Amino acid sequence: MASSMFLAQRRWFHSLPRNLSNARFFSALPSQHPVSVSGPQNNVGPKSNKFEKASSAPSSLKEPELAKFSAIADTWWDSEGPFKPLHKMNPTRLAFLRSTLCRHFRKDPLSARPFEGLRFIDVGCGGGILSEPLTRMGATVTGIDAIEKNIKIARLHANLDPTTSTIEYCCTTAEKLVEEQRKFDAVIALEVIEHVADAAEFCKSLSALTAHEGATVVSTINRSMRSYATAIVAAEYLLQWLPKGTHQWSSFLTPEELTMILKRAGVDVKEMAGFVYNPLTGRWSLSDDISVNFIAYGTKEK
């Protein structure tokens, strides 16, 4: 089982968007949402509000998203609660991180704490379910989130274990940290980019936070027919894993798009992998199938 989690081979990835008509072009203008194909719920956040928000202070997170997450903030560490799918997916994400980052930083993958001495930032850390394991793996972790409640909860939980009580949590955004000129060896933003208003700006911030010869890792959900069926219809409506309206299909990025905007931000995507859920065993695993959940690892060019 361990061997399947540590996939050493290179992931294939699309080098160019294959279907240009599908791609969304990111320009300097704040995003205007194309016609939403998403479910009946609330995507009608005050559009004008979003527009303003995006152009005035690029505090990436969309307004309705903030509200959504604040509501369920208390349940972050309840592994049977609304964040159950994330808890289940967590070990798989960590396996990918361990494998790619050990290789990137040339650390011994058989060491129990391979990331000793490295500074990581968990952007959109939520309750810290990613930050804590990374700290146990030796990294010096900073966790940021736009929602104050999340940070409070993350801090309380991290203090329960002396190893994780050293995590630096801040309620701030990536952009603000860029202004403060912070740099990190690895910038990790998992399951965040689908909730931000301007993905291109967000990626620029991620890139700016990455130190020279550092790594950037982003994970999100693909915008494909299959992901609509799985992540929206199945997860939100049929199985009720996620509260309705958690995701907006139109905000999803395809791997091509993500690669492109990261490239424009100066990050070269080197590997990509997908997360696949097996309903029989109830477990997630890494795979080549990037049609629903996928994760991309890139390096800063200069």
Partner 1 sequence: MNRIFATKAGSDVYRLRIPWRPFSNDAAPLLSSQNAGNPEKGSEAKQYDIAIVGGGMVGLALACSLASRPLTRHLNVAIIDSNPALGRKHFIKKEDLPDPRVSTITPATISFFKDIGAWQFVEQHRHAYFDKMQVWDYTGLSYAKYNARDADKEVLGCVVENKVLLSSLLSRVQETVLPKKIYPSRLNSMSILPNSSSSEVDSTLSMTALFTHGRLAKLELEDGNSLYAKLVVGADGGKSRVRELAGFRTTGWNYSQNAIICTVEHDVENHCAWQRFLPSGPLALLPIGDKFSNIVWTMSPKESSEFKSITEDNFLKAVNHALDYGYGPHPTPSILGSSDLFSWLKGGISKSANDCFEIPPKVVKLASERMAFPLSLRHANDYASKRVALIGDAAHTVHPLAGQGVNLGFGDASTLSSVISEGIAVGTDIGEVSLLKKYEADRKPANVMMMAVLDGFQKAYSVDFGPLNILRAAAFHGAHHISPLKKSIISYASGEMRLPLFA
Min. distance of Cβ 169 from partner 1 in angstroms? Answer: 10
Min. distance of Cβ 136 from partner 1 in angstroms? Answer: 4
* 80 binds partner 1, rule: CB under 8 A: yes
208 by DSSP, 3-state: which? helix
Q: What angle do CA 224, 271, 22 make, to 5 degrees?
A: 25
Give the Cα separation of 252 and 223 in Å (integer).
5
Q: In terms of Cα–Cα distance, which of 250, 248, 196, 189 is closest to 219? A: 189
Binder among 8, 20, 35, 112 for partner 1 (CB under 8 A): 112
One-letter identity of residue 9: Q
Binder among 29, 71, 160, 225 for partner 1 (CB under 8 A): 160
Q: Considering beta carbons, is residue 55 or 166 the nearer one to partner 1?
A: 166
**Alpha helices (H) along 105-164:** 131-136, 148-158
Give the Cα separation of 153 and 171 in Å (integer).
11
* 135 binds partner 1, rule: CB under 8 A: yes
Min. distance of Cβ 85 from partner 1 in angstroms? Answer: 13
* Binding window for partner 1 (CB under 8 A); candidates: 11-19, 71-79, 194-202, 215-223: 71-79
Min. distance of Cβ 214 from partner 1 in angstroms? Answer: 20
* 280 binds partner 1, rule: CB under 8 A: no
Give the Cα separation of 216 and 299 in Å (integer).
6
**Alpha helices (H) along the chain:** 2-5, 47-55, 63-71, 84-104, 131-136, 148-158, 174-179, 199-209, 225-227, 255-264
Q: In terms of Cα–Cα distance, which of 199, 174, 81, 67 is closest to 129? A: 81
Q: Considering beta carbons, is residue 73 or 197 the nearer one to partner 1?
A: 73
Token pair of 187, please?
């910038």
Q: Considering beta carbons, is residue 64 or 133 the nearer one to partner 1?
A: 133
Q: Considering beta carbons, is residue 135 or 173 the nearer one to partner 1?
A: 135
Min. distance of Cβ 180 from partner 1 in angstroms? Answer: 22
* Binding window for partner 1 (CB under 8 A); candidates: 44-52, 73-81, 199-207, 214-222: 73-81
* 50 binds partner 1, rule: CB under 8 A: no
What's the Rg (C-alpha) of the chain?
A: 18
Min. distance of Cβ 218 from partner 1 in angstroms? Answer: 19
Binder among 16, 28, 44, 110 for partner 1 (CB under 8 A): 110
One-letter identity of residue 159: N
Site of interaction with partner 1 (CB under 8 A): 1-2, 5-6, 74, 77-81, 87, 90-91, 94-95, 98, 110-112, 132-137, 155-157, 159-162, 165-166, 281
